[in-house]
Homo-oligomer: A and B are copies of this chain.
């Protein structure tokens, strides 16, 4: 009924088509100076240098030397721009070595992803899973399946495991970023410096040593007393505060527990290649 000039499938929503870069090149009109890709790149630059809140249509357009409205030729609206950033931020995943076992591979994959989140903290504030994945995210997924290639399990179970890890990645990166931010804030406050001081001028050791629980501790002891939170008090009454875990260890802690759980699961399902199942 409608005019079918393109042989491509037109059923896909435009956001998805833009995400995967499948669009027949335009045939008429002026040559585009801008492009979706350049806009996304500019938006990411702004986010990198000024933070996600600074990413406004106006700011991105300014960075490109165009007017705000010009962006709307290449991007449906701001939400779609953010959505495109979600995929673009996950540039290329690390190649899982062919020799790597499943556990080694998954750990590499997970650490690499946490790293992306820590490097680009604004990524964690984006609506990450609400959108269909783009080519970059699918590449990450592909590598995760490579890590699991020797495991004999249906794809949907592997997918669930990868999803669990991906979820953990987001949470872990967020904790890392936010506890770092809190530490910076605290050092700023304690040293009486203005809030605009760049982090680079701070003593890294002081940031490392900052204890974000100090306020809470004082509060609990003085204002609440052990009455309200008996188990918390019981646990902390015998605590040696001098031996606190540095953040890097926290990442290892989470990964280890998670992968131990996965291993238990695989063993129970009899899916490990080089071992006997517990039952069967």
Contacts and interface: CB of A to CB of B under 8 A. Distances in A.
Contacts of A155: 235-236, 238-239
Interface string A38-72: 00000000000000000000000000000000000
Interface of A: 9, 12-13, 16, 20, 22, 127, 129-130, 132-133, 135, 138-139, 141-143, 145-146, 148-149, 154-156, 158, 160-161, 163-164, 167-168, 170-172, 174-175, 178-179, 181-182, 189, 212, 215-216, 218-220, 222-224, 228-232, 234-236, 238-240, 243-245, 250, 253-254, 256-265
Contacts of A244: 156
Given A143-B231, A156-B245, A160-B245, 4 more contacts: A132-B215, A167-B172, A257-B261, A258-B258
Contact of A178 (B130, B149, B261): B130
A264 B254 contact: no
25 contacts: A13-B189, A16-B215, A20-B224, A22-B223, A129-B175, A130-B178, A135-B224, A141-B229, A141-B232, A142-B229, A142-B232, A143-B231, A145-B235, A149-B234, A149-B235, A155-B238, A156-B245, A158-B235, A160-B253, A167-B254, A168-B171, A171-B171, A257-B258, A260-B260, A263-B264
**What number of copies of this chain does the assembly contain?**
2
A216 to B, nearest CB: 6
Question: A-side binding surface: helix, strand, loop or mixed?
Answer: helix
Contact of A149 (B174, B182, B231, B238): B231
Nearest to A267: B260
Contacts of A243: 154, 156
Contact of A261 (B224, B232, B238, B258): B258
A262 B261 CA distance: 7
A230 B142 CA distance: 7
Nearest to A222: B9
Given A16-B215, A230-B142, A171 B167 contact: yes
B181 A130 contact: yes
B20 A129 contact: no
Contacts of A257: 161, 164, 258, 261-262, 264-265
B132 A12 contact: no
